[in-house]
Amino acid sequence: MKIINAGKISAAVAQLCLKANYSLRSDVLAKIKSAYKNEADRKAKAALKAIVDNAEIARRDKLAICQDTGLPIVFAEIGQDVRIKGDLRKAIDKGIVKGYKQGSFRESIVCNPLKRDKSSHQGAVIHTEIVKGDKIKITVMPKGFGCENKSILKMFLPTAGIDEIKDFVIETVRNVGPDACPPYVVGVGIGGGADLACLMSKKALLRRITIYGLRITDYVSKIESDLLDDINKLKIGPMGLGGKATALAVNIETYPTHIAGLPVAVNLSCHALRSATKIL
Amino acid sequence: MKRIIGLSSFNIAKLKAGDEVSFSGVIYTARDQAHKRLVRDIGRGKGRESPFDIKGAVIYYCGPTKTPKGKVIGSCGPTTSSRMDEFTPFLLKQGLKGMIGKGRRSQEVITAIKKYRSVYFLAPAGCGALISKYVKKVEPVAYADLGPEQILKLEVENLPLIVAIDSKGGSIYG
């Protein structure tokens, strides 16, 4: 049994808020740089250059990568051999408010979704999971709402083929077009119930962006790689200016599901895909 | 790269969809809730009016972060323009000349842009830290209670924009 103080969790969360909002994830930045290198279209190339410059300015000057510092989504994987001394929920909330205040980030959360009066930093979405071990793994993902607004869930028939699922993902990106800050990272959740499919589609965005080599052996990686190729054929491109880079990656997560159904959820991220993780 | 200094005396007809421009002058931030209020305040009359002169004005769809110590403004990129579509034709009718944002607009907005000879620009989307470097002065104008959605008057210098919809209804999105 390991004891972890709630104060330690608060401090970690605050630090992760700053890190995620100031420093673009290294895998995302690397992929944007490689897209910049491969782009031939002048305007699309300039748009990718602006994204790279923006990331550098944000890190150097301690400015938020994007003014939409997001709805903070917190994933806490808690080892079953850990005892938390103090209030976990309060500790996370406190850490978010501290980090967001320190960074002068935007108060983008309305406490009452219907009245929509005064906005603040209070109201992070928290997902906890009990796992093996005696550690806590905390991830903060500031999710911008331009892209979150484009999320979609479809309950397919269990007899649907993989081509129908692929078409659904491609059509989703086609419909979103230039509106949610392409190039996108496309998170897809397949299986479970409606709730888990949506959660997996978001968690899929946390996975580091893979640059596929020549040897793709497993079934899901092959679908990811095919979908990425097909989406990039849409030629939406950065800022919708055309060019090769409409998506940087397609990440799929799967889970067992019911014989009567096949839930598929898509959660898009803009190019400013932000997340930071710490293990306590 | 065409240089534009304000829109009130600029010949908008010279701008074509796809043109890259460098914009200097005054722009007003306004997003969802500020649009709702602007339309309410101007539309109903009742002694209320627009908190700034809409005629010849440029609206920037933006809600910046708070201003970090020692900086003019925080991160301040564009938000999705289409959410403002239902309010835009009314504002164009009042004399609004330019809009800056990201993404597509509705057919109604395109028609109104053509009718009232105005223009819609794209700003570098998702690049709020970069854009903050082009902002030289910030002044609060109205609706302070809306927090990040209040109306601010920004003075910008050489802000790089792309003409997305021109005054003849031409669009880069086809």
Q: Given pLDDT bands bounded at 50, 70 and 90, which one contains residue B46?
A: low
Residue B174 lies inside a defined structural domain of this protein = no
From first CA to last CA, the distance across chain B in angstroms is 22
- Per-residue pLDDT at B10 exceeds 90: no
How many C-beta neighbours within 10 Å does residue B174 have? 5
B154-168 pLDDT, tens digit per residue, is 999 999 999 999 999
Q: What confidence score (pLDDT) does residue A216 get?
A: 65
Of B66, B69, B128, Cβ closest to residue A66: B128
Q: What confidence score (pLDDT) does residue A1 get?
A: 87
- Per-residue pLDDT at B47 exceeds 70: no
Q: Given pLDDT bands bounded at 50, 70 and 90, which one contains residue A214?
A: low
Residue B14 lies inside a defined structural domain of this protein = no
Contact B128 A63 (CB under 8 A): yes
- Per-residue pLDDT at A190 exceeds 80: yes
State chain B's mean pLDDT as an integer.
94
- Catalytic residue numbers of B read 35
Residue B15 lies inside a defined structural domain of this protein = no
CA R_g for chain B: 15
Q: For residues A23-49, give the mean pLDDT.
A: 96
Of B104, B132, B149, Cβ closest to residue A177: B104
Q: What confidence score (pLDDT) does residue A86 get?
A: 97
Of A54, A180, A271, Cβ closest to residue B129: A54
- Which H or E element spans position A232? helix A219-232
Strand ordering across the sheet containing A247-255? A152-156, A262-269, A184-191, A247-255
A229-254 pLDDT, tens digit per residue, is 999 999 999 999 999 999 999 999 99
Residue B172 lies inside a defined structural domain of this protein = no
How many C-beta neighbours within 10 Å does residue A220 have? 14
Contact B129 A107 (CB under 8 A): no
- Per-residue pLDDT at A174 exceeds 90: yes
Two tokens at A280? 């306590």
Q: What is the rounded CA–CA span in Å between residue A75 and residue A6?
A: 16
Q: Does B80 touch chain A (CB under 8 A)?
A: yes
- Per-residue pLDDT at A139 exceeds 90: yes
Backbone dihedral angles phi then psi of residue A144, each to the nearest 5 degrees? -65, 150
Please report, for residues A156, B168, B170, the alpha-carbon distance to residue B100 in angstroms, rounded to integers and kept in the order given. Answer: 39, 17, 16
CB < 8 Å from A in window 14-53 of B: 20, 33
A97-106 pLDDT, tens digit per residue, is 999 999 999 9
Residue B171 lies inside a defined structural domain of this protein = no
Q: Provide the residue range defining the domain that includes B97.
A: 2-9+21-165
Distance from CA of A257 to the nearest CA of B (A): 35
- Per-residue pLDDT at A212 exceeds 80: no
In this structure, are residues A201 and A266 in contact, taking their beta carbons and an 8 Å threshold? yes
In this structure, are residues A185 and A206 in contact, taking their beta carbons and an 8 Å threshold? no
Picking from B105, B127, B150 by the largest number of A CB atoms within 10 A of its own CB, the best residue to mutate is B127
In this structure, are residues B155 and B136 in contact, taking their beta carbons and an 8 Å threshold? yes
Buried residues in B127-160 as b, exposed as e (16+ CB within 10 A): bbbbbbbbbeebeebbbeebbbbbbbbbebeebb
Q: What confidence score (pLDDT) does residue A215 get?
A: 60
Residue B52 lies inside a defined structural domain of this protein = yes
Q: Is A50 helix (H, G, I), strand (E, B) or coil?
A: helix
Q: What is the rounded CA–CA span in Å between residue B125 and residue B139?
A: 23
Q: Given pLDDT bands bounded at 50, 70 and 90, which one contains residue B44?
A: low
Residues whose CB falls within 8 Å of the CB of residue B71, separated by 6 or more in sequence, listed in order: A61, A63, B132
Q: What is the rounded CA–CA span in Å between residue B145 and residue B103?
A: 28
Q: What confidence score (pLDDT) does residue B174 get?
A: 78
Q: What confidence score (pLDDT) does residue B92 get?
A: 96
Q: What is the rounded CA–CA span in Å between residue B1 and residue A141?
A: 38
Contact A104 B63 (CB under 8 A): no
Q: What is the CATH number of the domain that holds B97?
A: 3.20.130.10
Number of separate domains in chain B:
1
ipTM of the complex: 0.93
Residues of B within 8 A of A55 (CB-CB) are 129
Q: Pairing relation of β-strands A136-143 and A71-79?
A: antiparallel
Please report, for residues A80, A182, B113, the alpha-carbon distance to residue B93 in angstroms, rounded to integers and kept in the order given. Answer: 62, 32, 9
Contact B103 A178 (CB under 8 A): yes
Residue B95 lies inside a defined structural domain of this protein = yes
B109-140 pLDDT, tens digit per residue, is 999 999 999 999 999 999 999 999 999 999 99
Q: For residues A14-36, give the mean pLDDT.
A: 97
Distance from CA of A149 to the nearest CA of B (A): 10
Q: Three-state secondary structure along chain B? A: CEEEECCCCCCHHHCCCCCEEEEEEEEEECCHHHHHHHHHHHHHCCCCCCCCCCCCCEEECCCCCCCCCCCCCCCCCCCEHHHHCCCHHHHHHCCCCEEEEECCCCHHHHHHHHHCCCEEEECCCCCHHHHHCCEEEEEEEECHHHHHHCEEEEEEEEEEEEEEECCCCCECCC
Higher pLDDT among residues B128 and B3, named by residue: B128
